[in-house]
Structure 1
Amino acid sequence: MFLVDSHCHIDDLDYKKLHLNVNDVLDKAKKKNVHAILAVSISLEKFKKFILVDTLCSKVWYSCGIHPLYCSNDNSILELEKFANNRKVIAIGETGLDYYHHRKNVNLQKKFFRQHIRTALKLNKPLIVHTRNSSSDVLKILKEEKAHICKGVIHSFTESKSIAKKFLDMNFFISFSGITTFKNAQHLLEVVKFIPIERMLIETDSPYLTPVPYRGRENQPAYLYNIANYLSKIKNMNLNIFSAITTKNFYRLFFKHNK
């Protein structure tokens, strides 16, 4: 079995109490059949730090982007293309819109989001999109900027089937996290059933959104196994087959231009 964690913030894990270093995290993941990881950045400052991490695992890739909650009136957006144009970077993001935490800087979020899409199109790399209470505007901007060309993934999806279909129609993949295992996320199970397996990715979003039965602990890539096992049952699929297809999807999306 070969699982891929398509979205984790490996630099935010607890390296003081829980893990010795990044390689320790990767070793724990391998024991649970998680053999590849996409380390997602939320700011250019953090990106510059973790892109320098030297790991023993060759199956760690990176994204470069500025999370909507980290948008600011500085020159960071102007540096995006420079840092994203790196062979280790296979995606642009985490970008998007978040109206749950911040509504005062909506215009700035939209500006940053559009610039991420334009960078993705220029560099021919897919997007990693964050959307919270903002799906209507996210879809609008994706369409206006012709993001269907570079494609991408809506990470940690929590919306309805109708919204999911609109993203699928935009050539985007849908990724599910440990949220699907929560008791209060029953509505998501119907969405999981609805999404074609060929358009599905899985993620931990570590160190956040820890799946059952590890609620209350820090999340980590190793727990992707539990998410995959749970989702395979919801899809009424053999775990090995489910894992093989979602892994193939990962490579199909993020390495379509890097072969």
Structure 2
Amino acid sequence: MVKLFDTHAHLDASQYDEDRDEMIARAKEAGVELIVNIGFDRQTIPTTMALAEKYDWIYAAVGWHPVESIHMQEGDLEWIESLCSHPKVVAIGEIGLDYHWDTSPKDIQHQVFREQIRLAKKVNKPIIIHNRDAHQDIVRILQEEGAEEVGGIMHCFSGSWETAKQCLDMNFYISFGGPITFKNARVPKEVLKNVPLDRLLIETDCPYLTPHPYRGKRNESAYVSLVAESAAQIKEISLEELATITMQNGKKCFRIM
């Protein structure tokens, strides 16, 4: 069985309240050896930390999601900074910009994004980028803030190859999830085909973005195997090679020994 790294999951989501331990066990049975779970606001950061402390093969990223940026209060950035000294916290994220959901004004999103990039540089952690309909502003802010100093991951990448190249030039890995298994997902498949193997990652973003053939149902970490199979086909390499490379890349990015 191949060994897989799900680099982006939300295992603490309410969708798993009835069977969380069983769902995590299924991931292990499917060959998932490492997971980074994402805490992105006042509610999910504590539950993410609890999961990382319960399972030795689950790690944590902590940050403030752009959709939630309007709710960030004084002291929250210091709280995130304090958690970065925990041995299981491997990144700051997910952070970035979201122009799809009209919940946080753009100027507040920009401010919170910049503050967290600066924090990542201060604590020397990679960043995990959430980008929805904000490609130009994401790239501009990353460049202006010198984000290449820490690098990180473009989570569930949905942009063009031109945008991907700009991110690669800034020391970022490009990560793909369930959408690459969809028949009509022409652009992400083309981008994946062009991404260098040493900059490629896979993820689920579970419980969201469920891959084919389970699209429309709840996603779970075990399904990263379906993402891996599609990615291997697109790259025209074996599943074993794809799994080995993305495992090595994930460990290098998150500095997991």
TM-score band by shorter chain is over 0.9
- Specify the alignment match of 1:132 in structure 2: 132
Query: In structure 1, how many angstroms separate the alpha carbons of the residues matched to 2:79 and 2:53?
Result: 25
The Cα shift of 1:80 comes to: 2.3
Query: In structure 2, how many angstroms separate the alpha carbons of the residues matched to 1:104 and 1:240?
Result: 42
Residue pair 2:193, 2:234 contacting (<8 A) in 1 also: yes
- How many residues get paired? 254
**TM-score, normalised via structure 2 length:** 0.94
The Cα shift of 1:197 comes to: 0.9
- Specify the alignment match of 1:38 in structure 2: 36
Query: In structure 2, how many angstroms separate the alpha carbons of the residues matched to 1:54 and 1:152?
Result: 20
Amino acid at match of 1:234: I
Q: 1:13 to 1:55 in 2, by over 3 A?
A: farther
- Specify the alignment match of 1:112 in structure 2: 112
- Specify the alignment match of 1:68 in structure 2: 66
Please give the secondary structure, in 2, of the residue aligned with 1:53: helix
Consecutive unaligned residues of structure 1, counting only runs of 5 or more, are none
The Cα shift of 1:53 comes to: 3.4
- Specify the alignment match of 2:208 in structure 1: 208
Alignment of 1:1-259 (within 5 A): 1-12=2-13, 14-17=15-18, 19=19, 21=20, 23-53=21-51, 57-73=55-71, 74-75=73-74, 76-102=76-102, 105-255=105-255
Residue pair 2:52, 2:60 contacting (<8 A) in 1 also: no
Residue pair 2:156, 2:177 contacting (<8 A) in 1 also: yes
Please give the secondary structure, in 2, of the residue aligned with 1:30: helix
The Cα shift of 1:188 comes to: 1.6
Please give the secondary structure, in 2, of the residue aligned with 1:225: helix
**TM-score, normalised via structure 1 length:** 0.93
Query: In structure 2, how many angstroms separate the alpha carbons of the residues matched to 1:98 and 1:56?
Result: 31
C-alpha RMSD over aligned residues? 1.7
Please give the secondary structure, in 1, of the residue aligned with 2:51: coil
1:168-188 Cα distance to aligned partner (Å, 9 max, x none): 011100000001112331222
Q: Percent identity?
A: 37
Consecutive unaligned residues of structure 2, counting only runs of 5 or more, are none
Please give the secondary structure, in 1, of the residue aligned with 2:33: strand
Q: 1:15 to 1:42 in 2, by over 3 A?
A: same
Query: In structure 2, how many angstroms separate the alpha carbons of the residues matched to 1:237 and 1:65?
Result: 35
